[in-house]
Chains A and B, each alone.
Chain A
């Protein structure tokens, strides 16, 4: 007997459908699997046979052939266990032929027949819905994740007997209570989970300049570098930046959830990621873990930070090769990883926030504490790779906090109020960049500077004067203009003012400190 069951596989953060064909024919008892399979897929032979046996479903000892089509694409993961089991049951006549058609199956089997959580459910369900399929059976732990996709019924199954029961009764007399469709109300999710706790800016006392820089960076989606002695509050401020970025839209939330789903990092039973990601990798991170990779590519930290904040603390300590490889992702907002196993693209639209000490001991230029040699300071700063520095629009230096500002606790502004201003600035940018490739001021390329960062005559003169007296480079000049545009947006001004230019200039990278 022959049967064909539908399943799916991942390709980056998108997916494609896979047909699982099972043929059971008389002959010597052989179980062969084909279709360019990786190790874990081949092992499913043992999991499936034992699981079926333990569930009390006997498969006669015949010649069994399983093919995963398209057969020229490398398959990986454990999600094919369930469709293979279903195909074998169908080919053995456990339920009427055709009962499984139009249903997509995903799930890993335990030896007792339990169906376990798999990764990448969201993208595969989305692909199935796009291809016009109407039903999916996925592990119960992933049901809510899949249910976010409209126009497709997603049922969560706990074990193989439940699935058989469902297919056996199907389609006529559906039994009450078996494999109920998961139900997710997206609007409630979006609102409910937004109340998740994000640290608040009101907890940061003092450091007004750094907070202002964070606000500007958030408003214009600029990359930010903070320098300062240990304990000045660099990490504290960085952790609070997601809280002043606008809330995730549904579309963004789906993108973020897809990446987390592919990486297998979605919490069990979670439907959507609605909090802006904040990823803070340790500086020993390898290039592959940061960018994404391994022979069968997985998303790296920069993709997990998609639509959120990637925080690189102790920037000079990172391997140079890792930092250098951030160049393409920062520019193109996506990363293409080509390996023997195939080439995939992951989204990497993150805001880069970096922090570093000004010298090896951390206290330069406070000579009361710092005894680093000037050359050691320069070497330390020089460790930061050029390509990353090129993408930093704002630099800010934090001093040690004095006791006075620690005491006046109530004065600090809350994240909610800062976010209001950021949202207003974002609205202005949205209408300005409607229909163009840019979305934020941080995206403005050198070619469009003239158009978006128009200066009046007086401002032009000021800018020229600054260019000369402060010895700006051409690149710094452009950055100042972009940041000035954001500052003007924050102030709700149509035109860039002198004040905006000067404030922007303040945040430019200065040779001594970067």
Chain B
């Protein structure tokens, strides 16, 4: 308790990075000693400008008050010295000195997968992120991500919806909801998952905060899945970090004509694992994960019951029998509806994709004998059957399920 106040002080100075924090704590032997050290002693460790800044900051900092404030907001500060500090983070290069945590801590015993990707994603990316998040949530795999627009928030949302756990690593203070539109997701994560950040409270979202944030995203996970990324994308920073930390990287392939899949396809070219189907990926991933856990268990204290492991892999086997394809899942109701379609409607349905297309383009994709079909009428019928969605006046796509 006494030490925590000083840790908060050390973690709250806004203008420096993690390495300075670590250096101070190491040199003086803990935050408390660093706090009590004289200005001269600081100057020995820091540059004179940094020491000056620290003095000014320390002059205004009210140790007890700030600590009480933090407690009131239900925020905890977990430093590397504490037992609760995430095991996965301990080993990574440049591990954060401390994490601000709102909500629970990321599950230690649970397998965790980071799902990352473009903010401005395509409907295809959104669809895959949702399917993936749902599968992970269902199989009790924690989803680690950055709560950004697009892939991040979609996968986290889906995981929570499926009853799973999720952890958001922010590039701002844990008490700041960025982007503001994700307020609902933020609240849910605080309730049912966790929100963590290495940045002091009230830090606004600054572009330079995000690349360092990504090392924590990959650090907290056992594997990283990239759903959609452009050739030059922040997502690829996460991938680099993951590789540096020795984590598995899986990639969702895309069409080579889609700019949003360029980064992914490039990673595949470079030898990343390919995610073709969430269930299949989970089989592979969980097998490896529980394998490692098993080995770890033999030397560490037991975390999970061995039976659980066996039943899980047995379940995996069962699921393998009925591998379903990501794009072709159909409920029985839909199957019935599809059976009832006329040949023209079936042709139109066949030309549709997850990504919206204009009507003229759809028409050009129809087989020649259906070119004269009144395509607008057929589309409206398909919409009414709930098979197709009209996303804008002239664009249609397959209804997401």
Contacts and interface: CB of A to CB of B under 8 A. Distances in A.
Are A and B part of the same complex? yes
Interface of A: 206-210, 225, 227-228, 358, 365, 367-375, 395-399, 402, 404-405, 465-466, 469-470, 499, 502-503, 505-510, 512-514
Nearest to B180: A375
A397 B392 CA distance: 8
Contact of A399 (B119, B149, B360, B386): B360
Interface string B383-394: 110100011111
A513 B381 CA distance: 20
A506 B376 contact: yes
A208 B391 contact: no
Interface in B346-396: 355-361, 363-364, 374, 376-377, 379-381, 383-384, 386, 390-395
Given A397-B393, A510-B392, 15 more contacts: A208-B363, A209-B358, A209-B359, A209-B376, A209-B394, A365-B123, A367-B258, A367-B259, A368-B260, A373-B149, A397-B395, A399-B358, A502-B377, A503-B377, A507-B393
Contacts of A469: 383-384, 386
B356 A365 contact: yes
Contacts of A502: 376-377, 380-381
Contacts of A395: 393
A506 B380 contact: yes
B262 to A, nearest CB: 10
28 contacts: A209-B376, A225-B393, A227-B394, A358-B392, A365-B355, A365-B391, A367-B121, A367-B259, A368-B258, A369-B259, A375-B181, A395-B393, A399-B357, A399-B394, A465-B384, A469-B386, A502-B376, A502-B381, A503-B380, A506-B379, A506-B390, A507-B376, A508-B393, A510-B390, A512-B395, A513-B391, A513-B392, A513-B395
B361 A367 contact: no
A505 B391 contact: no
Contacts of A358: 392
Contacts of B208: none
Nearest to B125: A367
B122 interface: yes
Given A466-B380, A470-B384, A502-B381, A373 B119 contact: yes
Nearest to A369: B259
Contacts of B68: none
Nearest to B379: A506
Given A209-B359, A367-B121, A514 B384 contact: no
The 7 A-B pairs with the shortest beta carbon distances in the complex, nearest first, are A397-B394, A513-B392, A399-B358, A395-B393, A502-B380, A506-B376, A367-B122
Contacts of A371: 120
Nearest to A207: B360
A217 to B, nearest CB: 13
B394 A513 contact: yes
A206 to B, nearest CB: 6
B374 A499 contact: yes
A509 B393 CA distance: 6
A398 B259 contact: no
Given A365-B123, A367-B260, A374-B120, A505 B380 contact: yes
A511 to B, nearest CB: 9
A479 to B, nearest CB: 13
Nearest to A211: B360
B394 A396 contact: yes
Given A365-B391, A365-B392, A470 B376 contact: no
Contacts of B384: 465-466, 469-470
B392 A227 contact: yes
B394 A398 contact: yes
A206 B363 CA distance: 11
Contacts of B332: none
Contacts of A510: 390-393
A465 B398 CA distance: 20
Nearest to A232: B358
Nearest to A501: B380
